[in-house]
Structure 1
Amino acid sequence: MNEFADVVSVGQYLAHRLVELGGPHVFGLPGDFNLTLLDEMLTVDGIDWVGNTNELNAAYAADAYARTTRGVAALVTTYGVGELSAINGIAGSFAEDVPVVQITGMPTTAARNSGALSHHTLVDGDYDHFFRAYREVTVAGAILRPADASREIDRVLRAALDESKPVYLGIPMDIAAAPVSSAPLRRPLRATPSDPVAVDDLRTALGEALAGLDAVTILAGPRIHRRRAEHLLEAIAGHDGVRVATQASAKSMLPETHPASIGVYMGQMTPSPATRTAVDEAPVVILAGTVLSDVLTGFYSMGFDLEASVELGITSARVGAVTFHDVRLEDSLTVLEEIVAGSPRPVSAPIEARWPYRVSAASTGPEPLTQHDLWAIVQEWLPTRSIAIADAGTAMYGALELQMPAGTDLLASPIWSSIGYTLPATLGTSLASDRRSILFIGDGAAQLTAQELSTILHRGLTPIIVLINNDGYTIERVIQSPRAVYQDITRWNWAALPGALAPDVPVLTAEVSTPAELQEALEAAARATDRAVLIEAHLHPDDAPPLLAKLGAIAGGKAS
């Protein structure tokens, strides 16, 4: 059992809870309203301050950190200017079910109560503008008071655990150092358990729905990952007669070499026709942790019967028209595994997903590098036990058609799709895991958040970054107006960037424009385990991976 002083400060209390919940790295920037809070938090053993270059990047890094550790993650900003900079990242965490704790250092309680016209405010005496704004992108929040600060911290953090969503804590300067009892810290926080009666009712209904089916077809979504329940999915997939397709945001959650895996499903954008047929023609599809958003469903083109489906969500389950409330996803998956194990089915005929880059057909000559060459070479090279990260745009749509090797996950953000997310996200994954991070990002996206590379380098982290330089926003060119002036970006000297951001840190850089050069650079990157690597790959602005080209055709009304 942890030992605590009888009395701790509010900042120390919060820091202890973050360490307990798997969030010892705290991201953010200092500001006059959060300095006392930071001083208090940093007295707690285990807390590691990660100073970022801006608050948006801190939010992105915290998001990826929480996804990778599967605990919570925290960032600390100052009031107003800092928290508003971070709100885009927090909104993305809300959309993608990531438990990030936004902590704002606020002006004193006296200033708030008197309506003093302070800097970083809208000078109208109202100090709750931004708290109200955060209500739109968080599931719980509080501005702390001395009387119930520790109780409110626990309530808000527990909401993050229950809902797998971001939360907000506003801590006035005078409250950060206020004393509170440490007694509640002796009882760990836990998510609210399922209602056992509802679980039993679900068991009966689910058993009836699956009775007589020759095969159980599951479409697995990202919420399984958010609930740390991949092991349950793999246990279900281990039984005969089970087929598992995954959404793009859950790619490789079940190892893609698993016999039950039938690939990624995206409605009319599904890469493999066999995968689409298997899901769309199933009499009952089990939607396990799915999000039926536009891109993930091929713009709502799923062909299965949604009303007849089974839906297993984070806090409820549905079988046909009946919803079972207060059933957590991990418990509904456990029930599903029990039912599948207790009702043997014949071995399903194998369904081979199409992996267009599975056998490399990349050119090795001196001709210009193409998107096909890039991803075919990456498919053959991609290491096991790594974290592949793909930014929204060309990188994501290329990576979705790779077959991930054993122990390699793909981190992408296809729901929020905020370009530039992945470079700070690479900071988060690199701190959260000893697996090497491999980032694929376009030049346009990288320009939004490139300064966070300095944090990555100064902390001695060693990701491999493949920067796809196609002179602008190829994803937007594919969708509409490819020659429009707004599709272009200013050109950077990418090879010089690491030296400018971290002049004393050794970095391996390479600039490639042919398949042979890319192969050589990736092989060198794999060997350079002691340093970060930046490979700039030049591609034609109009060249796009097949899946992205299909998206463009759909957006232009040319596909169905």
Structure 2
Amino acid sequence: MAPSVTPTVTVGTYLARRLEQLGLTHLFGLPGDFNLGLLDELLTGSALRWVGSSNELNAGYAADGHARLRRGPAAFVTTFGVGELSAVNALAGSFAEDVPVVHVVGLPSTRAMADGALLHHSLADGDFGHFVRVADEVCATAVVVRATGACTAIDRALMTAVGSSKPVYLGIPADVAVAHVPAAPLGRPLRVLHSDPAVAEEFRVALTDFLGDAPEVTVLAGPGLHRRHLEERVRTLAAQNGVRIATQSASKAVLDESHPATLGVYAGRFTRDPETRRRVDEAAPLVLAGVVMTDFLTGSFTHGFDPDAAVDLHLDHARIAGAAFYGLYLEESLRILEEVLEARSPRPEPLPRRAVTEAVPHVAAHPDGPLTHADLWPLLQDWLNPGTLLVAEAGTSFYGALELTLPDGCDLLGQPVWSSIGYTLPATLGAMLAAPERETVLVIGDGSAQLTVQELGRLLTLGLTPTVLLVNNSGYTVERAIRSPEAVYQDVVEWDWTKLPAALGAPATPVFRAETPAQLVKVLHEVRADREHAAFVELVLPRDDAPDSLVQLARSVR
């Protein structure tokens, strides 16, 4: 009898299959001589769709945006040294904002690295660990895969990305990418996000005791809920008698802003509604769900509540008045919270509905005067459709978006924790590939766009139909509001923005320009009438004009 042959696959193919099992459909990145063989293995015979980027930073941003809109991690591929270092800023943003991104790096061969060969793209010192150590600072784990144990190394890294909701680094040497490994492990799905049953029961008992018979429970919902795609669970909580829900700015609209249980956005002293601030600061009990306590999200640390006196639900553990419950994922702790609230006896009476003022369409006081933020955002609010994905760049765009009351079903995508300007344009590409059916509107400033605008060409030539609103206010408005508004370093080069789509490969894209409220109303009407195409709109605003919330933030920083 002939001996049985154990089925094998290459390491690159194994990784591709595991990514597919996690639901990935797209792979972002750039080719380089050290990752070409790896790319062939990843893409040959797999369903992964390659999305080339203009540079590695953009690829990382696109993967970040992709992961935020899909239920699971995203991945991008770069080459060793010059490629991977270009992506470090994107990885740091994903780490700071809890986004599971897999950074796959094609490395030189195992022999070349072991011999300390003075290769190109290296520091010519024979040490090939420099860049892995850099990645280790901004990733949950950084692993160089060897042929022996490759399957285990890949599986552990992918489970870490999903479990921690953080980026991970997989360095794969050129020879390892094509080395054969057993295919058998692929028959067993990766087991991720399983809470410890004993810890879950301890948490249930402690939570029941902590909440007691409180007639009203206030929940502050943070961006962790988006990372775990728990929006539906939030809506279920909001339907419970006695529950009120406020959101952080990074999770604005996680609950429809017309919902009777919503309290609006909470940001310490920057909270727009004093009643919202009072209810959160004085809440007893208070539940923090996926909350992040950074300066921009707490009104420069002016929050009036004590996290150590609250129920604090994190991505991978929970706390009740300081007592920790490790091994309990947010999905499970939120489910237990729902069940404990449902089991209250006697059940609280429904809370009175908030008074809702009927929306009145905005009318500019000076329709033919200069377009200002005071008119831009109300006009945009009137124009947005329910269900829209609004992407807002750090700075004037994000803080202007915070002043909107978004229609039901809308989401706000931004990066308020890391706040790296230029993030949103590539992130819009990734987000739209994850949810192409969603109407998507990007608002980005001129200074931010100049960092990553190359990706506009890819965004417009893939058949996607975003509306891109380019806020041209002649420079770095946020920095001007903080200090030295007349300084030369606050200026950017003036571009002919409306010619950009054609220059970047999309000459058929409709382009518009608006300098007055009346022109903006006309442009938005024309854009709405043609939903079959993308649109690029240049909005010309005064240099020093800014949304009120951004002015407050600048004063705080100053």
| TM, length-normalised to structure 1 | 0.96
Identify the residue that residue 425 of structure 1 maps to in structure 2. Answer: 427
1:537 aligns with 2:539: yes
Contact 2:268–2:298 (8 Å) recurs in 1? yes
Identify the residue that residue 553 of structure 1 maps to in structure 2. Answer: 555
Structure 2 counterpart SS, 1:62: helix
- Please say which of residues 394-403 and 19-28 is displaced more in the overlay: 19-28
1:311-331 CA distance string (max 9 Å, x none):
000111100021111111111
Identify the residue that residue 339 of structure 2 maps to in structure 1. Answer: 338
Give the Cα separation in 2 of the matches to 1:348 and 1:70. 33
Identify the residue that residue 294 of structure 2 maps to in structure 1. Answer: 293
Contact 1:161–1:190 (8 Å) recurs in 2? no
Structure 2 counterpart SS, 1:483: coil
Contact 1:83–1:104 (8 Å) recurs in 2? yes
Where structure 1 has 5 or more consecutive residues not aligned to the other structure, the ranges are none
Identify the residue that residue 189 of structure 2 maps to in structure 1. Answer: 188
Inter-CA distance 72–485: structure 2 relative to 1 (3 Å threshold): same
Q: Deviation of residue 353 (structure 1)?
A: 8.6
1:170 aligns with 2:171: yes
Identify the residue that residue 275 of structure 1 maps to in structure 2. Answer: 276
Amino acid at match of 1:253: V
Structure 1 segments (4+ residues) deviating >6 Å: none
Give the Cα separation in 2 of the matches to 1:353 and 1:246. 18
Amino acid at match of 1:185: L
Contact 1:55–1:86 (8 Å) recurs in 2? yes
Identify the residue that residue 3 of structure 2 maps to in structure 1. Answer: none
Q: CA RMSD in A?
A: 1.5
Inter-CA distance 148–366: structure 2 relative to 1 (3 Å threshold): same
Give the Cα separation in 1 of the matches to 2:138 and 2:488. 33
Give the Cα separation in 2 of the matches to 1:158 and 1:534. 40
Q: Deviation of residue 541 (structure 1)?
A: 1.0
The partner residue of 2:448 within 435, 445, 448 is: 445
- Equivalent positions of 1:67-146 (< 5 A) are 67-146=68-147
Q: Deviation of residue 349 (structure 1)?
A: 3.2
Q: Deviation of residue 348 (structure 1)?
A: 2.1
Contact 1:232–1:334 (8 Å) recurs in 2? yes
Amino acid at match of 2:51: V
Identify the residue that residue 501 of structure 1 maps to in structure 2. Answer: 504
Give the Cα separation in 2 of the matches to 1:353 and 1:418. 36
Give the Cα separation in 2 of the matches to 1:428 and 1:539. 28
Give the Cα separation in 1 of the matches to 2:403 and 2:206. 36
Give the Cα separation in 2 of the matches to 1:352 and 1:43. 58
Contact 1:358–1:403 (8 Å) recurs in 2? no
Where structure 2 has 5 or more consecutive residues not aligned to the other structure, the ranges are 1-5
Amino acid at match of 2:87: A
1:485 aligns with 2:488: yes
The partner residue of 2:466 within 463, 467, 479 is: 463
Identity among equivalent pairs (%): 49
1:418-463 CA distance string (max 9 Å, x none):
0000000111111111212210000000000011111112212111
Q: Deviation of residue 473 (structure 1)?
A: 0.8
Contact 1:159–1:167 (8 Å) recurs in 2? yes
Amino acid at match of 2:349: P
Amino acid at match of 1:21: L
Identify the residue that residue 390 of structure 1 maps to in structure 2. Answer: 392
1:310-364 CA distance string (max 9 Å, x none):
1000111100021111111111001100111111222223446999x97524346
Give the Cα separation in 2 of the matches to 1:359 and 1:307. 43
Contact 2:217–2:284 (8 Å) recurs in 1? no
Give the Cα separation in 2 of the matches to 1:167 and 1:132. 12
Q: Deviation of residue 221 (structure 1)?
A: 0.5
Q: Alignment length, in residue pairs?
A: 550
1:521 aligns with 2:523: yes
Give the Cα separation in 1 of the matches to 2:484 and 2:361. 34
Contact 1:315–1:328 (8 Å) recurs in 2? yes
- Please say which of residues 227-236 and 532-541 is displaced more in the overlay: 227-236
Give the Cα separation in 1 of the matches to 2:377 and 2:205. 46
Contact 2:432–2:464 (8 Å) recurs in 1? yes
Contact 1:218–1:245 (8 Å) recurs in 2? yes
Identify the residue that residue 228 of structure 1 maps to in structure 2. Answer: 229
1:317 aligns with 2:284: no
- Please say which of residues 344-353 and 315-324 is displaced more in the overlay: 344-353
1:272-310 CA distance string (max 9 Å, x none):
111111101112211100000000000110012332111
Inter-CA distance 259–412: structure 2 relative to 1 (3 Å threshold): same
Give the Cα separation in 2 of the matches to 1:517 and 1:361. 13
Inter-CA distance 465–383: structure 2 relative to 1 (3 Å threshold): same
1:241-266 CA distance string (max 9 Å, x none):
10000111111111212111111100
Contact 1:22–1:73 (8 Å) recurs in 2? no
Structure 1 counterpart SS, 2:154: helix
1:400-435 CA distance string (max 9 Å, x none):
111121221110110000000000011111111121
Q: Deviation of residue 34 (structure 1)?
A: 0.2
Contact 1:471–1:541 (8 Å) recurs in 2? yes
Amino acid at match of 2:37: T
Amino acid at match of 1:467: L
